Amino acid sequence: MQYALSIIMGRAIPDARDGLKPVHRRILYAMDQLSLYPNTGHRKCARVVGEVLGKFHPHGDMAVYDALVRLAQHFSTAYPLIDGHGNFGSIDADPAAAMRYTECRLTKLSQAALLEDLQDDTVDFLPNFDGNEIEPAVLPAKLPILLLNGSSGIAVGMATNIPPHNLNEIMTACTALVKARQGGAAVTDKKLLQMVPGPDFPTGASILSTGGTEKLYTTGNGGIVMRAVTKIEKITTGRKSSITRTAIIVTELPYQVNKAALLEKIAGLVNEKKLDGIADLRDESDRDGIRVVIELKRDAVAAVVLNNLYKKTPLQTTFSGNFLALMTANRDSSSSLVPQRFTLRQAMDCFLDFRFETIRRKSQFQLTKVNARSHIVAGLLMALDKVDMVIQIVRASADQQAAREALYIELGTSSEQTDAILKLQLGQLTRLNKGKLESEKADLEESRESLTHLLEVDDAVYDVMREEFIDMMKRFGGERKSSIIVEDDGDFCDMDLIENSRSVIVVTRGGYIKRMPLKTFESQGRGTRGKRGTSDGGESADSEVAHCFTCNDHDTLLMVTQNGIAYGLRAYQVPIAGRTAKGQPIPSVLPVRGDEVITAILPVSEFSDEEYVVLTTEQGWIKRTPLDAFEKLSSRGLTIATLEDGDRLKWCHRVRNEDDILIGTVGGMATRFGAAKLRPTGRTSRGVRAMKLREGDTIADMNVLSGKNKEYILTVTAQGYGKRIATSEFRAQARGGVGVIAIKFKRGQEEDKVSCLRIVKDDEEILVITARGIMVRQKASDIPSQGRSATGVMVQRVDDGDHISSVSIVPQYEEIDG
């Protein structure tokens, strides 16, 4: 316990009054004793370290030198207290040169703000470790150095981490608090946070307004998100500078981020394939500032790469603040110091109380000196009024002691006044000197009144404090270095890190799901075999394809189970895998139960209050629900339909009031009716009958007709035959009817059945996939347009034992501006 207390009090935790740890305080005091002022020459750091070790701080020389170096580093200390000359390290964590090579002296700020009042009995002095010297218990700070430069330290059982702040902002807040003490308007927490919106780090960078700052200032503990300052530039590369590429230029780094380690981290992520889109990385920093160039590949989106850099590297970090310092227990200067957690207001109040006390002690010290001088001046004036008597007494006295006694008896002066009279020279016994003494007496009387006023009236002290604060702001204040981004919450979602590319998502009947880039499947001709899209060609139940569709990576996927439960998932959250990979089990992506099967998936780019979701079951029940009812759908799942026993929910599509709904059966029948004829119902309703089914027939597919020109109904059978049918061939009917013929099966293929119906346009591409995962991407216009009674042509060649599982439309894709 004794050791722990010594660490807390003597090393690791700063004093809230002057913001310094003992080693820092002793370094500055030793330099003051050596007269290393800003207007003098630099002195070897080894000389200062030796002075500190020999007189005040009996610890290791490197511990003292490291503390001295940090006080001089402009990238570590917001307001350096030591002016260093030589190599004092770098932001790349390069160490400073040995103390025998470097030199130092005090800065103007440290002399004016910490040491100027030291000789005016403003603070207590204590014996040093061996009792041969005295040292100040605290420095008479005119500025709250604890907040301006911050502090960090790890003690036993506690730690502190205080960020630096802007001088102008802190002193403005202190001035407002002083005015409030004088009876002015109270400073609420909201006003205080407006005056001090956040820390100001010496390396600049940006602070994201995430609420961590407010929490830190009001509770003493909180995280502050810092982000590097970057810009996007077009640069030329190559031997002849003929290649133009986009580059991310980093000009400011978060506080305490090692630039060399940052570059190594980025390079490591690129080599490990965890960071895409970066072609080159180099450091072009010089004495003018930081410039890190991150050159991008041609097809890289700058915004995506930058967000990944923020996510995965120290270009964005969190400063974990913890306000802890040594403070008096009850704002009484005589009470002992104890480590306390404090808020921003408490830190300022502690400094203001301390400054109030130092001004009072300084005033008392100066008043004592003024009174002593006034007493002497009064005796000298008394002697000048009776100068002949004084001369005669001095001439008649046998020695100085006799003269002192005679003057004491004849003039009635005190011993101090008598000594001052005897020290007068003949040249000072003139009328001019008497006039100067009378003027000095008047000045001393005025000073006495002013100092007495300071000692008796609190508001007078507060006025002096305000004047000091304004003077400090004019001399040492400056603009904020760290900008504050108010509109950014700092916690960007994963979607900001993912390029909105087109992908193919495959779900197998065995419950596996995967995502593949659409560019994996080049466009092929009609009737070709296609490429494998699953692990074993669908020969096992696990790899047999149940759903295959294309979407953009930012789309929301409404994943519907046969039991009427819907789950929400972003497309980019589906694990990416190769063409022949098996994929991930759906329960590892969504919390589905073991008996649930994904029967329908609806990709949604944006939710509109003018659109609806149409749900259809295998037995022909249908319902329409507003799309925005699913906007807050999450991976936890939500009931969207009530089903009859033995029925399964299988289809899910978006629809508008002006659209028509097309439903086809496996037997080749189809019906069309207006979506407006379906009354919108709630999420948990059952719906109404969509189509009258013949015995043994079931619903094969459901789709939506927008009513636009040049739309066709693509009908594909399980054996790979298909055709396009003009939408005009299907007239609108009443809901619940038998429908009309949509396709006839080829002779010898009577056991064939309709696999799917899709609405296509001439300029669209389709992706046809078999149950074994064989995929063909082709143009819709390559499939001929035929009548309802035609048998179609070969769309995809199907192997024995395989069949067409699904057809999806490749979405139109627009380039997204980075």
CA dist., res. 777 & res. 549, Å (int): 12
The tokens for 141 are 């700070």
User: Does the annotation mark 310 as catalytic?
Assistant: no
- Quick one: residue 586, left, alpha or beta (phi over 0 = left, psi -120 to 50 = alpha)? alpha
pLDDT of residue 594: 63
| Of 3, 29, 37, 101, catalytic | 101
pLDDT of residue 491: 47
Q: Determine phi and psi for 726, rounding to 5 degrees.
A: -60, 140
Model pLDDT for residues 493-549, shown as the tens digit of each residue:
556 666 778 888 888 877 888 888 877 666 555 555 555 555 555 455 556 677 777
Q: Burial letters for 706-721: b for 16+ Cβ neighbours within 10 Å, e otherwise?
A: eeeeebbbbbbbbbbb
CA dist., res. 109 & res. 107, Å (int): 5
Strands 337-341 and 483-485: unpaired
Domains (range + CATH), the chain? 229-314 (3.30.1360.40), 500-809 (2.120.10.90)
CA dist., res. 159 & res. 11, Å (int): 12
Residue closest to 309 by CA, chosen among 294, 320, 297, 298:
294
Collapsing DSSP states into helix, strand and coil, what is residue 274? coil
pLDDT of residue 39: 95
CA dist., res. 125 & res. 29, Å (int): 12
CA dist., res. 422 & res. 394, Å (int): 8
Give just the sign of the alpha carbon dihedral 269, 272, 278, 280: positive
Stated as kind and residue range, the H or E segment containing 380 is helix 344-385
Distance of CA 812 to the CA centre of its chain: 35
Question: What is the reported pTM?
Answer: 0.67
The tokens for 235 are 């640069």
By residue count, the chain amounts to 818
Instruction: Give Cβ neighbours of residue 249 (< 8 Å, ≥ 6 apart).
Output: 230, 231, 232, 233, 291, 292, 293, 294
pLDDT of residue 489: 46
CA dist., res. 87 & res. 434, Å (int): 58
- Which residues does the chain have with pLDDT short of 50? 487-491, 538, 813-818
CA dist., res. 724 & res. 273, Å (int): 44
The tokens for 25 are 């305080």
The dihedral formed by the CA atoms of 798, 803, 809 and 810, expressed in degrees to the nearest 10: -50
Distances (CA, A) of 534 to 502, 512, 748, 767: 19, 10, 30, 15
pLDDT of residue 240: 56
CA dist., res. 31 & res. 742, Å (int): 97
CA dist., res. 103 & res. 72, Å (int): 11
Assess contact for 724 and 683: CB atoms under 8 A: no
Q: Which amino acid is at 778?
A: Q
Q: How many helices (H) and strands (E) does the chain have?
A: 18, 41
Longest dimension (CA), the chain: 155
Distance of CA 237 to the CA centre of its chain: 33
Q: Determine phi and psi for 269, rounding to 5 degrees.
A: -65, -40
Distances (CA, A) of 30 to 13, 35, 77, 267: 20, 9, 20, 45
pLDDT of residue 452: 95
Q: Determine phi and psi for 202, rounding to 5 degrees.
A: -65, -25
Distances (CA, A) of 73 to 96, 168, 348: 10, 21, 25
Assess contact for 56 and 128: CB atoms under 8 A: yes
